[in-house]
C-alpha cells in the first residue's frame, strides 16, 4: 500500500551494498552528503571494507539501529533483505546498481536528487507483501522461510511430471500433474510467475497468485486468491530413484530440498518490505522494464 512518507524522524541512516560493489567514489560522496545533512551513517561490512573505515555492521545489526536504509545493488540485494531481515520494518531506498532494477527504481545519477526529495517529505512509502512459507514433514513443522517474490516447487532437471494437490483454507482447490507450481505475491507476479503465463497483479492488490508450471491439462490456469487465505500444497508423487531432486526455490535465490509427501503451507506474513519511492511510477516501470504493451 502506497502512502506518504514522513522523514522528520530520520536521523540514523544505514547503507547496504551488494557483495561485489566497487564504486568507491559514489559511496564516499553519499556518506559526505548524509553527514552534511546532519545524519548519523552506518555502513555494512562490504562498504566498511571498501572504504577501509574499520569494521562494518552485519546487515541485521545495521537494520536494528537505523531509521532508514539505502540499498546499493540490484533487485537481488533487496530480495535478500526482504527474506532475511524484514522484522525491523525499516524504510529502504533501493538504488539500482544491477541490471533490470524493477524493485530498485532509483538510478545512481538521480540518487542525490531523490534524497533531496525524501528530506523534503516529497516521497512515498510502498509496503510490499512478504510470503511466509512453512514446510511440514511427517505431519510436523520442519522449517519456515520468507519470500518477497515467490515460492516455486519444481523437479530440477528432471522432466517427469509431479502430482500436486492444492488446498485453500483446508478446502480442495485442484489436483494436477505438471512440472511444478509457483505461488507469488503481487510483487512477484512480474517475475517467474509471469514467464509461466501468470497475470500481472498490481502491488496494491491484496492477492496471491497460484501459477502451474507446464500442466498436463489445458484447462489448468493461474488463479489469484485473496491474501488472507492459507495455501496448502501436497506433494503426492512418489520418486522413482535416489537421484531425483524435488526442491522449493525462494525468490530464485535460495533452494530447499523437499521430500515426496511434504506439505508446504503459504500465507501472507505480517512482515512487509517498506520501499521508499519517488511517486506512483508502477505503469511506467511496466513499460520501461518489461516493454509492456509494445
**How much is the pLDDT for 278?**
75
CB neighbour list of residue 176: distance below 8 Å, 6 or more residues apart: 163, 164, 166, 212, 215, 216, 217, 220
User: Would you say the C-alpha torsion 79, 273, 289, 5 has a positive or negative sign?
Assistant: negative
Catalytic site positions:
75
Strands 68-73 and 92-96: parallel
Q: Give the Å distances, CA to CA, from 206 to 4, 164, 242, 264.
A: 19, 25, 40, 21
Domains 2-123+278-290 and 130-270 alike in fold:
no
Distance CA 215, CA 213 (A): 6
pLDDT tens, residue order, the chain (294 aa):
566 667 778 999 999 998 888 899 999 999 999 999 999 999 999 999 999 988 899 988 999 999 999 999 988 889 988 887 767 789 999 999 877 778 888 889 999 999 999 998 888 889 999 999 999 999 899 999 999 999 999 886 666 788 999 999 999 999 999 999 999 999 999 999 999 999 999 999 999 999 999 999 989 999 999 999 999 999 987 665 554 678 999 999 999 999 888 999 999 999 999 999 876 678 888 888 888 887
Judge: domain 2-123+278-290, CATH 2.170.190.11.
no
If phi > 0 it is left, if psi is from -120 to 50 it is alpha, else beta; for residue 261 that is: left
CA dihedral 16, 18, 24, 25 (to 10 degrees): -70
The alpha helices in the chain, defined as continuous H runs, are 24-36, 45-51, 59-63, 75-84, 111-119, 192-195, 282-290
List, in order, residues 6 or more apart from 242 with CB less than 8 Å away: none
Q: Which residue has the cell 541512516?
A: 13
At the top level of CATH, the class of 130-270 is: mainly beta
| Grid cell 512482515 in the structure block, residue | 271
In this prediction, residue 265 carries a pLDDT of 98
Bridge-based pairing state of the strands 180-184 and 12-17: unpaired
- Extents of the domains making up the chain: 2-123+278-290, 130-270
The confidence score (pLDDT) of residue 27 equals 95
CA–CA separation, 49 and 51 (whole Å): 6
Q: Which of 97, 36, 85 is nearest to 61 (CA)?
A: 85
Amino acid at each position: 500500500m502506497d502512502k506518504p512518507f514522513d522523514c522528520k524522524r530520520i536521523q540514523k541512516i544505514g547503507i547496504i551494498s551488494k557483495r561485489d560493489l566497487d564504486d568507491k567514489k559514489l559511496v564516499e560522496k553519499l556518506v559526505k552528503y548524509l553527514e552534511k545533512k546532519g545524519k548519523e551513517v552506518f555502513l555494512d561490512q562490504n562498504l566498511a571494507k571498501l572504504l577501509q573505515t574499520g569494521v562494518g555492521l552485519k546487515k541485521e545489526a545495521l537494520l536494528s539501529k537505523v531509521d532508514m536504509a539505502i540499498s546499493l545493488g540490484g533487485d537481488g540485494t533487496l530480495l535478500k533483505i526482504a527474506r532475511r531481515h524484514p522484522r525491523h520494518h525499516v524504510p529502504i531506498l533501493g538504488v539500482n546498481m544491477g541490471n533490470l532494477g524493477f524493485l530498485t527504481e532509483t538510478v545512481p545519477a538521480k540518487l542525490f536528487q531523490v534524497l533531496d526529495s525524501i528530506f523534503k517529505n516529497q516521497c512515498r512509502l510502498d509496503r510490499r507483501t512478504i510470503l511466509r512459507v512453512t514446510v511440514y514433514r511427517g505431519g510436523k513443522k520442519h522449517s519456515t522461510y520468507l519470500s518477497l517474490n515467490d515460492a516455486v516447487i519444481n523437479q530440477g532437471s528432471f522432466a517427469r511430471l509431479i502430482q500436486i494437490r492444492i488446498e485453500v483454507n483446508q478446502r480442495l482447490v485442484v489436483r494436477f500433474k505438471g512440472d511444478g507450481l509457483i505461488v507469488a505475491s503481487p510483487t512477484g507476479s512480474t517475475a517467474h510467475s509471469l514467464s509461466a503465463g501468470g497475470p500481472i497483479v498490481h502491488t496494491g492488490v491484496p492477492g496471491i497468485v497460484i501459477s502451474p508450471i507446464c500442466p498436463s491439462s489445458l484447462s489448468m490456469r493461474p488463479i489469484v486468491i485473496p491474501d488472507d487465505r492459507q495455501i496448502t500444497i501436497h506433494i503426492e508423487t512418489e520418486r522413482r530413484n535416489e537421484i531425483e531432486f524435488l526442491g522449493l526455490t525462494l525468490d530464485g535465490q535460495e533452494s530447499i530440498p523437499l521430500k515426496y509427501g511434504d506439505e508446504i503451507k503459504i500465507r501472507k506474513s505480517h512482515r512487509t518490505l517498506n520501499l521508499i519511492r519517488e511517486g506512483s511510477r508502477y505503469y511506467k516501470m511496466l513499460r520501461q522494464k518489461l516493454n509492456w504493451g509494445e
